[in-house]
Structure 1
């Protein structure tokens, strides 16, 4: 496939019709139709089913589109980098972080890093631990920052940046809010917000609460601790979250209680074992450790 064929195929997939693609590309509809037919003949696969005057993409077309989108993102990154070079920026640090560390920790470290290295270009993306791992392995980010990390991929180098305490959060009017410390059996009697078993956070919560008789099955699933805090503060359920998120949430409608038997979690800055960190990356890891210590010390005053 050449670039023109890719461009037309993407336009048809995005527009969902030949006429829509033709409008976007400023060409005639027959020209788009001819190119799509030629592409199907060349690839020897059916890309679109035409039924009732409507165009429907086949599974093969959708699979091809995913690959094209991935390649297009790479091209976009090259263009962005070329633009940076034009402005004299020769180094880029791509950070993928989960929301807990993105609320307080990563921004503080980034601000200090930029002060020391003003010409360094930094990009930040919010992602789950699984997404961060995939991005590191694919070379799509340089540093991944995540809390509740338990298992590491063998091709990823972890740098421990700190540890914290798991807290139980709930609305100020919740029955458990009057207690100073909570046992796990106390928590099991109430609705607990889930983080899903596919997330590291969710696995930690599931491991703590187990699957005992009488445990209420979660009916609210979220991906980020900050969202769980918001749901709880608005009057539904309780959640087991990291102290860093609780410290940043700071809402009088939400109360946090420690567990009677403390549960610790770990946070890491991760990098590919095959791609050593740049000077900016190494400094970022150092700053993350430094600011983690300061943030957890402040959080301990809750």
Structure 2
């Protein structure tokens, strides 16, 4: 069966008559009648029983129609996908992000791209750098968004998003809250909250805490900066975190202090070097970079201090 024969057969099945099918296809009735008879001869089965001007499909016709409808649904999906590609939209954009960048940066970029590409389907997952790398390499996600990462897998493309500052967060009652700036010597205390020895964030904290003398062994380990800030706000410990998370959590229960010697960190988007990003993926990377400063809010402003701070 060629496409024209399939169209005629489908039209006759839907209309229930030669005249109805001819009107739907904008062709003559004799042309439709000839194509139906030709199709029956070619297939060697009767597709319709005729009662006057009406055609009643046989079981063979119903079976054939099920296959034809399935084929048309596949064609419709192909047409829809082609239309999406025409406007630079892949069916799904899968994003895996650190929690710090997933709190505001990624949501702002998603809201922006959805106004441009409303039919784009987006999935978001919060994961560690190691998990994101594995997902990119296996094809489970399209874009990874991370911070504090300095070395990447050779099969990963890195797209710089922006740079931020490391801050110290603690409860107003904590001894360090009385200082305008925190020196590295002040951070040599056991209540500095750790992010583990193998994570990018954890390596930064361990380097700061262990820069002088014997290293300090923290007694609380967490995975996410947001959790570290929550613990600090609850009244225990110092969280050394990115300014994006710190500003998001800042309030009456959490004070922020900069380091006396500023420490910067890099935020990046990652993609597979083996699978080029779609047009929507490239747009998302650009939007992440554009929204970086905006979502960090007042990160350029000095951290709030008490009225009578000590040096």
Whether TM exceeds 0.5 here: the answer is yes
* Partner residue, 1:196: 196
Give the C-alpha shift of residue 190 in structure 1.
4.5
Distance across 2 between alignment mates of 1:88 and 1:229: 46
SS at match of 1:284: helix
Is residue 108–residue 295 contact of structure 2 (8 Å, CA) maintained in 1?
Answer: no
In 2, distance between residues paired with 1:157 and 1:86? 30
Contact 1:189 1:214 in 2 (8 A): no
Counterpart of 1:189 in 2: which secondary structure?
coil
Assess if the C-alpha contact under 8 Å between 2:250 and 2:256 holds in 1.
no
The answer as to 2:118 corresponding to 1:103 is: no
* Correspondence for 1:168: 168
Deviation at 1:299, TM superposition (A): 2.0
Partner of 2:283: helix, strand, or coil?
Answer: helix
Q: What is the alpha-carbon root mean square deviation over aligned residues? A: 2.0
Alignment of 1:48-63 (within 5 A): none
Which consecutive residues of structure 2, in runs of 5 or more, have no partner in the other structure?
A: 1-73, 82-89, 304-311
1:251 aligns with 2:248: no
After TM superposition, give the deviation of residue 180 of structure 1 in Å: 0.4
1:300 Cα deviation from its structure 2 partner? 1.9
Which aligned segments of 4 or more residues in structure 1 are displaced greater than 3 angstroms?
85-90, 211-216
Give the C-alpha shift of residue 216 in structure 1: 3.6
Contact 1:136 1:272 in 2 (8 A): yes
Structure 1 residue 87: Cα displacement? 12
For residue 268 of structure 1, what is the aligned residue in structure 2?
Answer: 268
Task: Report the CA distance shift for 1:95/1:163 in structure 2 as closer, same or farther (over 3 A).
Answer: same
Q: Which has the higher helix share?
A: 1
Tell me the residue number matched to 2:288.
288
Superposition pairs for residues 30-45 of structure 1, below 5 Å?
none
Q: Over alpha carbons, which structure has the higher Rg? A: 2
Mapped contact 2:170–2:255 kept (Cα < 8 A): yes
Q: Provide, for residues 191-239 of structure 1, a one-character-per-residue CA deviation record: whole Å limited to 9, x for no partner.
A: 1100001211001111222275465411111000000000001011101
- Per-residue deviation at 1:143? 0.1
Matched residues in 1 for 2:280 and 2:136: separation?
Answer: 17
1:232-253 Cα deviation digits (max 9, x unpaired): 0101110110000011113210
Alignment CA distance shift 1:251-1:87 (3 Å) = farther
Find the counterpart in structure 2 of residue 177 from structure 1.
177
Q: CA separation in 2, counterparts of 1:174 and 1:212? A: 22
TM-superposed deviation, 1:91: 1.7
Partner of 1:127: 127
TM-score, normalised with respect to structure 1:
0.69
Report Cα offsets for 1:100-129 as digits up to 9, x if no partner: 000010000001101100111000000001
1:190–1:238 CA contact under 8 A, matched in 2: no
Contact residue 190 and residue 218 of structure 2 kept, 8 A: no
Verify the 8 A CA contact 1:91 1:121 in the aligned structure 2: yes
Q: CA deviation at 1:298?
A: 2.5
Tell me how far apart the structure 1 counterparts of residues 275 and 292 of structure 2 sit (CA, whole Å). 25
Cα distance in 1, alignment partners of residues 209 and 292 from structure 2: 27
Q: How far, CA to CA, are the matches of 2:277 and 2:190 in structure 1?
A: 45
Q: Secondary structure at the match of 2:186?
A: helix
- How many residue pairs get aligned? The number is 220
Task: Report which stretch shifted further, 208-217 or 90-99.
Answer: 208-217
CA spacing shift, 1:87–1:108, aligned 2, 3 Å = farther
Residues 172 and 254 in structure 1, CA contact (< 8 A), matched pair in contact too: yes
SS of 1:188's equivalent in the other structure is coil
> CA separation in 2, counterparts of 1:293 and 1:251?
20
CA contact (8 A) 2:271 2:277 kept: yes
1:118 matched to 2:118: yes
Instruction: Give TM-score scaled by structure 2 length.
Output: 0.67
